[in-house]
Amino acid sequence: MAEDDARIAKLCHLLALLKAGKHASNRDMRKALGDSAYADFESAWREQVELRKQLKDKPEEIHAYEAKLKRAIFLENKAKASRSKSSQGTGKLAQAAEAAFEQLYEKLDEITTADGALAGWFNRDVRWNASNYPDLSSLDAPRVVTASSGGGIASGIRSKRDTKIAAIEHELERHENPVSDDELGKVAQARLAKLRQRQS
């Protein structure tokens, strides 16, 4: 019992360090979590590394969308600058910007219809209808997510510190609410039955 209390105290100490923005070594994490929970942490961190790799390897369609978005924003900014100078070409520039955003949205619809998984690359829902169609402006144009911007597929990105915090919190929760082997077996059997139903 005293050993369990010491382990919980160590986990709480590491959690406090991490939440304060300080470092907790992998060696200390392994000692406090134990081999099984530490293996779960390592697995979760590998998933995070893979997710980051996916964000770096943007599909060609996403690069094409970003180029079109950049062009549309350029035209919009040019129209705004022209408006502030009371230039005669303001109307034409504003029309060109709106046309560029319209073409951008058409391209977006085309690529996400062809490959639905590409929708996860954007910071907002890109499946529109008449009630939620975005304005033809840079404010409403969906942005491609990156590891730093969040949203879309990047919404699952965690820092290594956050991954460590989640592992410790999960282990503390498991300790506070233990599940018997029988209960775990029942849960596993129920999941297996659901999986078999989906496959058939």
Q: Which of these, 57, 100, 94, lies nearest to 79 by C-alpha position?
A: 94
Q: Which of these, 9, 10, 5, 16, lies nearest to 30 by C-alpha position?
A: 10
C-alpha to C-alpha distance for 116 and 138, rounded to whole angstroms: 23
Predicted pLDDT of residue 103: 94
Predicted pLDDT of residue 150: 46
Q: The whole model's pTM is what? A: 0.52
For the chain, domain boundaries: 2-55+159-199, 59-143
Inter-axis angle of helices 2-19 and 26-33, nearest 10: 140
C-alpha to C-alpha distance for 55 and 112, rounded to whole angstroms: 17
**pLDDT tens-digit profile, the chain (200 residues):** 677 888 899 999 999 999 888 888 999 999 999 999 999 999 988 888 887 777 777 889 999 999 999 999 999 999 888 877 766 667 888 899 999 999 999 999 999 999 988 888 887 778 777 777 888 888 889 888 764 544 455 556 677 888 899 999 999 988 887 765 566 566 667 776 776 776 55
Predicted pLDDT of residue 147: 44
CA distance readout (Å), 174 to 28, 44, 73, 121? 19, 17, 50, 34
b (16+ CB within 10 A) / e for 180-191: eeeeeeeeeeee
Predicted pLDDT of residue 195: 66
Instruction: Please answer whether residues 102 and 46 qualify as being in contact, where contact means their C-beta atoms are separated by less than 8 angstroms.
Output: no
Predicted pLDDT of residue 134: 83
| DSSP string across 66-84 | HHHHHHHHHHHHHHHHHHH
Per-residue tokens: 150: 């969040």
Predicted pLDDT of residue 198: 64
